[in-house]
Structure 1
Amino acid sequence: MIIADSGDKDNSHTEEDENYFVSMTDMMVGILFIFIIMLMVFALNFRQLTDETVLLTAEQQEQLNRANELAEQIAELRRRIANEITELNKADQARNELLEAIKAKLDVVGLKVTIDKDTGVLRLAEDAIRFAPESSRLDAEAQRNVDAVAKVLLDVLPDYTACPGGMTCNPSTGYVVETVFIEGHTDKTGSDSLNWQLSTERAVNTYRRIVDNFRGLRALVNSQGREILSVSGYAYTRPAIEQDDAEGYRINRRIDLRFVMEADRRERLSEVLILLEQMEKKVSELQNPMGAALDTPTQPERVVPQ
């Protein structure tokens, strides 16, 4: 009995152990199955995310291609503008040569002039072309000096102008004068209305003296076919000297010649260059979105209470 009983107990323990291992196996199979399902779900999600990433990268690549094309166009435009500014500098050099040539020839006939290379102004010094107070009349000495200036202009300017048909010109420099302003000026005395009228009359009277005695100057034109000689009056707004006495007033009652070359557009081109630099910066940000993102401070993630 005891033996039989102990045998039953052994069988009972064996069955219990077998049942335990069976249940553990089933549980492990179930867990493995769950892990397989989870792995499959993860794989599907990963593939979906990968597809979306590839699509996003393609869009970014398209943007990058467009940005590269824009960058190439901007680089080409910058190159052209840089070349244009180089030409402007050459035009300035040609204008300086023109002014020096006129100055040298006027020195020979005894007329002293000064040159402002930044503005292209030829200023007639001493008593070259002066006016009495409140007068726009050219006296005998002023008339002789105007004739001397006109003769030199007729000798030098054909090398810097575009000539109409029937006239022989030799634009050896390749740069053309757009306008030569005959500028009239006054001193500070007198009323505004009188000074504006006086300055304009002084310029007009000088112009008339030039073209009446040297008609060939009216035949000199710019590339638009327009006469290069023109007049302007500035009253006392552009003094040659800041000196409020009789001598200063005498010096400021004068005629200046301002030479403008057709290529004088440097300021506008410089503004375009600044705009292009701003555009290039935007393109650089478009080409490197990650760098732009790194430059942007990230906001801390908000924690929502559960």
Structure 2
Amino acid sequence: MAIADETDHSGSEDGENYFVSMTDMMVGVLFIFIIMLMMFALDFRTKTEVQENAVDDARKMAHKLEELRGQVGAEITLLDEAQRVRREMLRDIESQLQAEGLNVRVDEANGVLRLTEDSVRFNPNEADLKFLALTNVSKIARVLERVLPRYSACRLQSNAPPCRASGAPSVETVFIEGHTDSDGPDAQNWLLSVQRAVNTYRHMMGEARALRMLRNQRGEEIVSVSGYAATRPIDAGSSREAWARNRRIDLRFVMEVDSRQRLGEILKLTEEMKKEIDRLTQASGSGR
């Protein structure tokens, strides 16, 4: 179980995700690379004296650029598919929880299922699940046990179907996130938020043991915990009602796609293009 601390997490709920995926970073870098390449090409065209071999190199580089654009487009399509699969999963979970009489809210953009104070309520300065909260967490665990296997990379049971096909979007992690209100010492709230998440995790695993059998593409358990103290309020007010809403549990669903091979191909292609640019730069300078 991964437990977040004060140095690891800060900022608003809507302003950040858990982490920036390697694929997202690659796509951003590649777009910058393509823009720089286009600027170079425009400058290259303005040269009146260009050697023939440099022109041939330019054509080759244009072909590689088109290939690169196609690969980046494929990565974006895969990311879009992962987002679509997550929305489908969240709506399925939401529908089943509502059928159980639980009031939940879904933030599709950030992949968060928010358990409102009507579903899981904590008393001030307490981390224990009591009365109705225990019953509701049991319902949540059983719904996750039904839904998550369809979106997980692997299951450990001997009678389980084979792992999902490589490259297919699947769940990387489901974080059980604990939150507090802004009242009380900050250090105490950090500990309290983690305790709330851990207690929720333990009760879920006791009610739905099959959840611990679910694995991501690296073979790790997908259900984990984190705590945020009062750093991610959903109600900025200072009333008792606002504090009650902020003493909550969120479930955050992080998706993964197997992009390692494609990213390796893109890196190789960008390196080849860099060499082409270096040659064109030298040819452009000698043609002046």
One-letter code of the match for 2:81?
K
* Residue correspondences, number: 226
CA distance in structure 1 between the partners assigned to 2:258 and 2:144 by the alignment: 21
Mapped contact 2:168–2:257 kept (Cα < 8 A):
no
- Tell me how far apart the structure 1 counterparts of residues 217 and 128 of structure 2 sit (CA, whole Å): 33
2:245 pairs with 1:251: yes
CA distance in 2: counterparts of 1:108 and 1:174, whole angstroms: 29
- 1:26-79 CA deviation, whole Å, 9 max, x = no partner? xxxxxxxxxxxxxxxxxxxxxxxxxxxxxxx99822222223323322321221
Match of 1:109 in 2: 100
Q: Which amino acid aligns with 2:218?
A: Q
Q: Which has the higher contact order (CA 8 A, sep 6+)?
A: 2
Residue identity matched to 1:85: I
Shift in CA distance, 169/147, structure 1 to aligned 2, threshold 3 Å: farther
CA contact (8 A) 1:159 1:169 kept: no
Bigger-Rg structure (1/2): 1
1:188 corresponds in structure 2 to 182
Corresponding residue number in structure 2 for 1:200: 194
Distance 1:209 1:136 in 2: 12
> What is the CA deviation profile of residues 253-304 of structure 1, one whole-angstrom value per residue up to 9, with x for unaligned ones?
0000000000399xxx9xx9xxx8xx89x96xx59969xx8xxxxxxxxxxx
Deviates more, 1:70-79 or 1:246-255: 70-79
Amino acid at match of 2:146: D
**Alpha-carbon separation, structure 2, partners of 1:220 and 1:147:** 18
Gaps of 5+ in 2: 1-47
CA distance in 2, matches of 1:59, 1:251: 68
1:81 matches 2:75: no
Shift of 1:213: 2.1
Report the counterpart of residue 94 of structure 1 in structure 2. 85
In 1, Cα distance between equivalents of 2:188 and 2:235: 20
| Residue in 1 that maps onto 2:156 | 164
Uncovered stretches (5+) of structure 1, i.e. residues with no partner: 1-56, 294-306
* Deviation of the 1:224 alpha carbon: 1.0
- From 47, 50, 55, the equivalent of 1:64 is 55
**Aligned residue identity for 1:88:** L
Counterparts in 2 of 1:240-279, with a 5 A limit?
240-263=234-257
- How far has the Cα of 1:164 moved from its partner? 2.9
RMSD: 3.3
2:194–2:226 CA contact under 8 A, matched in 1: yes
Q: Residue 119 of structure 2 aligns to a residue in which SS?
A: coil
- 126, 130, 138: which one aligns with 2:121: 130
Q: Which residue does the alignment assign to 1:143?
A: 134
Give 1:154's aligned residue. 145
What secondary structure sits across from 1:183 in the alignment?
Answer: strand
CA contact (8 A) 1:185 1:236 kept: yes
Amino acid at match of 1:166: S
Q: Are the counterparts in 2 of residues 88 and 264 from structure 1 also a CA contact under 8 Å?
A: no
Check whether the contact 1:158–1:169 (CA below 8 A) recurs between aligned residues.
Answer: no
Shift of 1:210: 0.8
Identity of aligned residues (%): 45
Task: Name the structure with the higher helix share.
Answer: 1
TM-score scaled to structure 1, two decimals? 0.66
TM superposition shift of 1:240: 1.5
Matched position secondary structure for 2:51: helix
Q: In 2, Cα distance between the equivalents of 1:148 and 1:78? A: 46
Conserved? CA contact 2:50–2:284, under 8 Å: no
Q: 2: CA distance between counterparts of 1:167 and 1:134?
A: 44
Aligned partner letter, 1:168: A
